[in-house]
Structures are given as structure tokens and as C-alpha cells.
A and B are shown apart, each in its own frame.
Chain A
Amino acid sequence: MKAQDEQRKLIIIGLILLVGVVFIGRLFYIQIIDKSYLLSAQNNVVRVITQYPARGLVYDRHGELLVYNEAAFDLMVIPSQVTAFDTLEFSQLIGLDRAEIKDRLVKAKNYSMRKASIFEKQISKESFSFFKEKLHKFPGFYVQSRTLRYYPTRIAAHTLGYIGEVDRSTIDSNSYYKSGDYIGISGLENSYEEYLRGQKGVKRVLVDVFGREKGSFQEGRFDSSAVKGQDIYISIDAKLQAYGERLMTNKKGSIVAIEPSTGEILALVSSPSYDPNLLVGRIRSANYQMLSDDSLQPLFNRALSATYPPGSTFKSLNALVALQEGISTPSTSYYCQGTATAPIKCSHYHSTPLNMYRAIEISCNPYFWQTFRSIMVSRSDIHDAYNIWRKHALSFGFGTRFNSDLFNESKGFIPLPDYYDKYYGKNGWRAMTIRSLSIGQGEILATPLQLANFASIIANRGYYYKPHLIRSINDSIPDPEFREKVVTTISPVNCQVVVEGMSRVMDGPEGTGRWYRLEDIAICGKTGTAENPHGKDHSIFVSFAPKDNPRIAVAVVVENSGFGATWAAPIATLMIEKYINGEVKRLNVEENMVNSNLINP
């Protein structure tokens, strides 16, 4: 080996040894001589506290507050930081027995030693202030504040929806949510979750070994403050909504009111309902169980999710299709032989023949069977004719969802021709086979929302805006689609014919709704009495008012109560009167409706 190589080898080995010695010296210094590191370690328990933002508030169309927040406090625990403590004193403070405390600690440990879990949800303000003073005695425990929803008006429970803890699958798929966070589960709370929730913040506080806070960690360098959720203004008219809920007392069914010129939903009543304050905080799960066990299904939002045969209200649609396809004119007349008519008898006594206006006014079954039959035989193949009819129905929003901001809409049902092919064979069905469709019976199903939108389309003479609940967030509407006109397949002229017919329902001498006509408001309506497999007929009414420049379209369904004219019509006209006049003069009608108990008569 050359001398130089030998020398360099020694230099390299020397370098390695030097680094080793420096390291050991440095370790000796920081581990043994300098005690400040040991001290830092003791003061170095960082507690990450989530700052929950206040959720956005909800106001009605006139700025009335529907949902606000109240502070609540959760007692949290980090098992790995818990040391032995006086369980007796603890149990007195928190109001739980000692076995329960032990149980919960074990549960928290099973969830995680290092991560905080909720020990007791929503302790009262009193026990919080009491607890705060003694907290240093219980290392590992601390209080986390968060907000709870509160509903001052107690109305529109289904529409507003409720919040609850996020489930596992949401946590896994969305990194924003952590276990124990709240999320909108139904209704608007769900549809506008991203606006309402705000932005969580974190605060890191240094805590010593006794659990005492020693100030913020690294001067708050890693902290972020919570951003309050955005307030939303919804289209519901709180007064009208409350009135509708009152009218539906002790009845099963729903009311949907829409402003035709915007598609904004003014009232969305599903009865029976519940007090939204029941589904808040600690009492939520017990109450939820109670409500979901109720045979009347108060949690079910009938206005959006229930589907009914539309009954005679659908006759208007058959009239529109016949007019649009040039199969009928307003003066087209058919004979009616009353109860003796085949295949569908008439339940009304009237002179005959009658034209389309009178047929709507009286709701003459044979007339609309003839109309429907004419549509179905207008093409050589019934499939073609049926598809034309179906196309018009779909353009009105039947058989599909609007997919706006409504939670849990049902599609309703307008069968495809295949549906009948399957039942009767490809060539096995004719107009006669599906005759029930002429009077809104048979297979077809519609939601109250779709019926109200149907009324809204006729009110607008042929178009609609997607029914929706949001009015504004930060002075703007989040989805511009809600401002886009949806034009149906029916022309304004043809709509006007049906408008006249529906006007006569209220004002005509033989009108099925004439008992509830109003002196000062020109209402257009159509009664429906829907046969169904669940008992008595559903009472249905679709309407709008005033006849010119309509301001409100209303659909009412009262389940298993009888004729459309008996229950749905008065309720719908009361809603119209309340909305347009601001007060109701027909107090006897109102009282009669409010006091009628159709559930347990």
C-alpha cells in the first residue's frame, strides 16, 4: 500500500470516529446534562381541540328565523392521558354512577388510547361551569364546545331536516369529517350541508402532565380558526306553512304550495309531522326511535316521497294531450249515460252531450274515457299512441324527479309501454285495457309535489320552473338552473282551455268545487277522488289562483278521507285565501277543517 493511501485511509477512519464521538458527546449533553428537554417533555402534551363553527342559520322568505344554534358542551376524554382519579367526586359532578364511568372509559379506550372521544354528550351549562373549576383534578378530560340546532317555530320539520353524527362510510369517503362530527342527514340540512357547515378550525394547546392548559402551542402557528357556516334564506312562507300544518291536524296527507312565476315552494306540509326540536342533542336517538316506531310514519315526508294515483285531477292532462295532438277541440262533445255508461260510469247527474269545459267542471268520467280512447286509437299501433301520451306526461314532470334541492323525492310512476307488454303481451293490450288511465287511476302514481307543479304549469300556461326551496345564500341563488324556464309540450292556447274548465270547477253552476269558491279570488281547481288499495279514497285537489297572473299553485292530498271536494278542496282554498289575503274570513270552514280528526275519528 502506498503511503498516501495509508494516510488517506486513516483520515477517513478518523473522520468516522470523530463523527461518532461528536454524536455521543451531543447525546450526552442533551440527554444527561441539559435538563430542559426533560422539562419540555413534561409540558409538551399538545391537545388538539377542534373548533366547531356555528352552523348557518335558516330564514324563511320574509326573513323569519326558522333554525338557530345554541351552545352545548361535550365532555371529552383522551384515555392515554387519564390517571387515577376520584371516581366518587367525578360521578357526583357528572351525574353518572361509577360503574357507568368505568364502562365508558373502557369504551373510549377501545376506540383509541390517543384520540379524544366523547365521554358525555351535551352536558348542561350548569354542570359545565361547575366542572370547569374541578377539571384539573381529572387529567385527560376536557370540555369541548359545539352548537346544537334549535327551531323556534317548530314548523316544517321534514323540509328543514335534522343533523346527526356522521356515519363510518361518510368519514371514510370524505376527509373533512371526523368521528363525532355532525352532518346534515335529511332535508335542507342535507342538501345545503356544504354551505351550512362552515369550516372547522383547530386549536393546539399545550397541556402539562396535570392536564392544565399552558397556553397555545408554538404561538398558534398551526392553529386555524373556525369559519361560521353561511345563512340560507328559503322560499317557505313560515305563516303559510304553519297554517297548512294546522289545517292538516289529525289528518294523513300533504299540502304543497308553489309560486308559479318562480318555482319557489311556499309551503311543504306532510302530516302527521313532529316537533323538529325532538331530534336535537341527547334526546335525539330516543325520540328518533319513538318516531320511527309510530305507525303513522311521522318521519316520512309524504309531500315529496309518497305516491298516489292522481285520480280525476289527471283528466286535465288527458284534455291537454287531446287538444295538443289535434284530436279534440274545446267543443268536442261526447254523450254520457250516467251510471249506465260503459266501460266507465259517471258518478254525476248532468245534461248530455257535454263539451270539454263542462266535462272538466263536472269531472265526467265517460267524457274523458272517450277522449283518452281517441288519443290511443289515433295511431295504428297503440305503442306509438301511448308513447305520445307518455311524452306529454313526462314533460310535465310526472314519472321523474326534479333533482333540485329537495331531499328524497320519489319519481312517481308513468309506465313504459314494455310494462304493459309484459303484462298483456306485445299485442295484448288496447285502449280498453288501460282505460283507468283516462281518469287518473290504474298504474300511474304521482307525488303531491308533482301535482302542485302540474297546477303551476297550467297556471303558467305551459311552462314551469323546477320546484325548489332555496331563495338565496349570500344574496345569490346557488343553482342558476332554478331560474331556467322549463317549457312543456303543451301550447299556451291549449292550456287556456283547461284553465277555463278549471275555473268553472269553482265558479260554474255544476262545478265540483263550487262550495268553496271565493268572492274576491278567482280560483281554478280540479278535484280528484283516488281509489286506492289502502282503504277509503284519497281526497285530492289541485288548484291555482288568481286565474290571471297566478300567485300560488296548491296541491292537497288527504289520505283515505273520501271525495276530493270534501277535504282537499276546502283545505286548498283556505291556503289560497290565507296566502293572497293574509287572513281567512271563512272561519267556520277553517274551524271545521282544523277540528276534524280523520285519523282516529
Chain B
Amino acid sequence: MAGLYLALVLIGWINIYAAVYNEEHRSIFDLSQNYGRQLVWIVTSMALALFALVVDAKFYNAFSFIIYLSMLIILVAVLFLGTTISGAKAWFQLGSFSIQPSEFAKVATALALARYLGTMDINLKSFRTQMNTALIIGVPIALILLENDTGTALMFIGFIIVLFREGISSKVMLTGLCLVILSILSLWLDRLLLIGILAGIAIIAIFVKRRGRTLKRILFIVALLVLAIGYVFAVDFVFDHVLEPHQQNRLNVLLGIEDDPRGIGYNVNQSKIAIGSGGFFGKGFLQGTQTKFDFVPEQSTDFIFCTVGEEWGFLGSTLVVALYVWLIVRIILKAERQRTSFSRIYGYGVASILFTHFMINIGMTIGVTPVIGIPLPFLSYGGSCLWAFTILLFIFIKLDSKRLELI
């Protein structure tokens, strides 16, 4: 796993160099440029990785709640003391560089979740447990949303995978899924049309099964219908009266309801052109024209995969995709062989977070998922996210190495 990690980090560094390369600053070690600074981040990440390995494995379990609570305090603090960078008040400015606590909140939440669900006698089927779990994941999401860092907050949804593995009932999952779909639909579609569709589904449900058409069943479906319609109204109410105009805008842009003023559609188009023009072998190192001419925004951060696609072609991008799949599947397989629930659940947490970022980030650059401003783990430029992902992964590596001692 450490080898995969190193490979990805190196690929990231080389592509950051290519993305921001210009004749004036040829040296890859130039500290005034993103690639020079990324090297600093990489070296410090190694130190953090080492630190994560040196710490006693029992520490993570024992201190998980303390870490989590401290993280919440920091998230609150950044609301008051933070600096705003590209619209999100999510940063602590320390001299010339800035730290984004919400990145580290992922690690803290994964630890807390593992600790809570790893407790003996916990049953994810009980309502109380479900509520507590929702709180553990929901509180940091709420705080990060308040920071206006929507992208990072959305990534916490990935923890659903952990809950799925830990045995949350399919009904709860299904209900949750339905509610999400219904929320999106109620913003997307005209209210009357949506109510009509829901009524139509209800009627079909009543008439499709001749045999089971008891009164009880019909009443149940009608009650469901009323609840669903009520929910639609509630969503509209929250959207219109609770959310701030800029939050409405963000949601509208995210759902593609509104033509985006900041040009997200433009980004995707440019990004697809950059990747698409790479062909099979790519244009070669430093030969990309699309990323060179600044067509693609955020080239070294959120859209780093464009550079991979353009300069290394289908071969290179497939390799990167394969490396991620390999890494994530490996983490899951290793998680399964853990002897403590804590280690296993934490492992799933790591895999879920990596997978969500991987899916959304690469998906948006090739136009299959919505554009959400989140980094590609290990590849994207940025100190906070590289540090956070490194710590996230190496804690698991440590836990895995001690799996025989931990009971």
C-alpha cells in the first residue's frame, strides 16, 4: 500500500510540474511555483507518515473521541478566526501558507465512527445507534457546510459505504436513497408534475399485484404517498425560506438547474477537450497544449487529471485509474482480515473516503459526475489534503501491521 501511495504521489508531483510549467521557472524545485511547494508538502507528508507509524497502535482507538472532539472545536474556531479562500471560510492562515481543517476532519470522523461502531454490543439496527451514527457524521458536515465548503462536506456521504458494510438494514438504505432522490426531484421538477408522478406510481403499485390488494396494503400505499408529498413540500420550504441565496445558487448549479455564472460547464468542456486530445499515447511530458494555455482552470488542484489525460493519454490515465482501484480494493481486503472491529471499520472508512474522492473527481473531469471542487487524493496540489490523506492512509497501515497484536 505504501508503494501505491508513493507511486500516486510521484505521478501527482510530475503532473503538477507539467500543469504549471513555464519557461521562466524551469527548475522543478522552484519554491515560488506549485510544484516546488508540492515537494515541500510531499517531504513533510513522509514525516507525518513516519509519525503515524511510530505512534502506538492502541493510541488511535483510545484517543479517537478526543481527536474527534478537538477537531469539532477547530472546525468551530475556523468559522470565527478563519480566512476565506475562493468563497469558503475554511482556512487558517499561518504566514504564507494556509491549512484547511475540514480535510483533517475526515480522518477524525473515520476514527470516531470506527470507535463507536466498534464498541461491543452495538447494533446498527437499533434506532438509537442509527441516530448516534448520524450525529457523528452529521455534525462535522454541518460545520463544514457553515464554512461554505460544500465540496468537502459532500464527501462525508461516502461513509454510507461503511454503514452498509457494518450491517445497516437495506430498508434504511433504501429509504435514505429514496429521500435523496425525492429531494433532488422536488428541486428539479415542477411540484405539480412531481405529485402527479408520485400519484401515478402509487396507483400502479396498487393495481400491479392483483393478489395482494388488501385494504391494509392500499392504505399503506396511500399513507406513503401523503408522506412523500409532505416531504416534497418540506424540501421546497427549506430551500425557499431557510437557505441563503448563495446556498440556493450552489445547489442550483450543482443540480444543473441554473446556468452557472462561474463557468463550471465551461470547465468540464475544456477538461474533456484536454483529456480527449490526449489520444492513446498522450502528447508527451510537458507537451500538453490545452493545459499549457490555461484553458483548464484549477489545473494543479481539482483538475490535475486533465494533465494526466492530455500528456499521458489513454495509457497513462488508465494506469492512474487502475492504481486507485487497486489501492482501494486492497484496503478493503486488508480491512476484512482485521481482528478488531475498530481496525476493520476504520479501514472501510479510509477506502470509502478515497473512493468517493476518486469517483467524483475523475468523474467530473470526464463529464460523468457533477463538478464538485474536491481534490484527487495524493495527486492534487495542496498541503492540507496531501497531509490529511497521508495521515488517513498511514494510520490504517499501522493498524494493519499490528493486526495480530490488537484484539
A contacts, CB < 8 Å to B: 1, 4-5, 8-9, 11-13, 16-17, 19-20, 22-24, 26-28, 30-32, 34, 36-38, 40-41, 44-46, 80, 109-110, 112-114, 218, 221-222
Interface flags, B283-297, vs A, CB<8A=1, else 0:
000000110111100
B contacts, CB < 8 Å to A: 22-24, 161, 164-165, 167, 263, 266, 270, 272-280, 289-290, 292-295, 309, 313-314, 317-318, 321-322, 324-325, 328-329, 332, 336, 351, 355, 358-359, 362-363, 366, 368
Given contacts A9-B336, A32-B314, contact A27 B165 (CB under 8 A): no
Q: Bound complex: CA of A290 vs CA of B222, how far in Å?
A: 94
By DSSP majority rule, is chain A's interface helix, strand, loop, or mixed? helix
Q: Bound complex: CA of A28 vs CA of B317, how far in Å?
A: 10
User: Is B277 a contact of A41 with CB atoms below 8 Å?
Assistant: yes
User: Is A31 a contact of B22 with CB atoms below 8 Å?
Assistant: no
Residue among A9, A23, A41 making CB contact with B321, cutoff 8 Å: A23
Residue among A9, A16, A38 making CB contact with B325, cutoff 8 Å: A16
User: Is A27 a contact of B272 with CB atoms below 8 Å?
Assistant: no
Given contacts A13-B329, A27-B309, contact A44 B366 (CB under 8 A): no
Q: List 17 A-B contacts (CB under 8 A).
A: A1-B336, A8-B164, A13-B332, A17-B329, A19-B355, A20-B321, A22-B368, A23-B363, A31-B313, A32-B280, A38-B276, A40-B276, A41-B277, A46-B293, A109-B23, A114-B293, A222-B263
User: Is B292 a contact of A30 with CB atoms below 8 Å?
Assistant: no
The 10 closest A-B pairs by CB, nearest first: A37-B276, A41-B277, A20-B325, A30-B276, A31-B314, A113-B23, A40-B273, A38-B277, A23-B321, A26-B366
Q: Which residue of B lies closest to A78 (CB)?
A: B293
Given contacts A8-B165, A16-B355, contact A114 B294 (CB under 8 A): yes
User: Is A30 a contact of B23 with CB atoms below 8 Å?
Assistant: no
User: Is B165 a contact of A5 with CB atoms below 8 Å?
Assistant: yes
Q: Which residue of B lies closest to A28 (CB)?
A: B314
User: Is B290 a contact of A44 with CB atoms below 8 Å?
Assistant: yes
Given contacts A32-B279, A80-B292, A114-B22, contact A37 B309 (CB under 8 A): no
A30: which B residues are within 8 A, CB to CB?
272, 275-276, 366
A38: which B residues are within 8 A, CB to CB?
276-277, 279
- A214 nearest CB across to chain B (Å): 15
- B172 nearest CB across to chain A (Å): 14
- B281 nearest CB across to chain A (Å): 10
Q: Which residue of A lies closest to B290 (CB)?
A: A41
User: Is B273 a contact of A41 with CB atoms below 8 Å?
Assistant: yes
Q: Bound complex: CA of A477 vs CA of B22, how far in Å?
A: 48
User: Is A44 a contact of B295 with CB atoms below 8 Å?
Assistant: yes
What 19 additional pairs, Cβ within 8 angstroms, besides A23-B362, A31-B278, A44-B290? A13-B329, A19-B363, A20-B322, A20-B324, A20-B325, A22-B368, A24-B318, A27-B275, A27-B309, A30-B366, A31-B275, A32-B280, A36-B276, A41-B276, A46-B293, A110-B24, A114-B22, A221-B263, A222-B263
B314: which A residues are within 8 A, CB to CB?
27-28, 31-32
A80: which B residues are within 8 A, CB to CB?
292-293
User: Is A12 a contact of B322 with CB atoms below 8 Å?
Assistant: no
Residue among A13, A19, A41 making CB contact with B359, cutoff 8 Å: A19
User: Is A27 a contact of B336 with CB atoms below 8 Å?
Assistant: no
Q: Which residue of B lies closest to A34 (CB)?
A: B276
A27: which B residues are within 8 A, CB to CB?
275, 309, 314, 317-318, 321, 366
Q: Which residue of B lies closest to A209 (CB)?
A: B289
Q: Bound complex: CA of A5 vs CA of B351, how far in Å?
A: 16
Q: Bound complex: CA of A37 vs CA of B53, how far in Å?
A: 45
Q: Which residue of A lies closest to B278 (CB)?
A: A31
- Among A16, A24, A31, max chain B CB count under 10 A is at A31
User: Is B278 a contact of A9 with CB atoms below 8 Å?
Assistant: no
Q: Which residue of A lies closest to B333 (CB)?
A: A13
Q: Bound complex: CA of A358 vs CA of B378, how far in Å?
A: 94
Q: Bound complex: CA of A316 vs CA of B292, how far in Å?
A: 73
- B369 nearest CB across to chain A (Å): 10
Q: Bound complex: CA of A221 vs CA of B167, how far in Å?
A: 50
User: Is A113 a contact of B22 with CB atoms below 8 Å?
Assistant: yes
Q: Bound complex: CA of A110 vs CA of B274, how far in Å?
A: 27
Residue among B24, B293, B322 making CB contact with A45, cutoff 8 Å: B293
Q: Which residue of A lies closest to B282 (CB)?
A: A31
A114: which B residues are within 8 A, CB to CB?
22, 292-294
Q: Which residue of A lies closest to B359 (CB)?
A: A19
- A411 nearest CB across to chain B (Å): 41
Q: Bound complex: CA of A560 vs CA of B22, how far in Å?
A: 60
B280: which A residues are within 8 A, CB to CB?
31-32
- Among A22, A44, A113, max chain B CB count under 10 A is at A44
Q: Which residue of B lies closest to A8 (CB)?
A: B165
- A437 nearest CB across to chain B (Å): 56
User: Is B161 a contact of A12 with CB atoms below 8 Å?
Assistant: yes
- B331 nearest CB across to chain A (Å): 10
Q: Bound complex: CA of A31 vs CA of B316, how far in Å?
A: 11
B332: which A residues are within 8 A, CB to CB?
9, 12-13, 16
B294: which A residues are within 8 A, CB to CB?
114
Residue among A1, A16, A40, A222 making CB contact with B329, cutoff 8 Å: A16
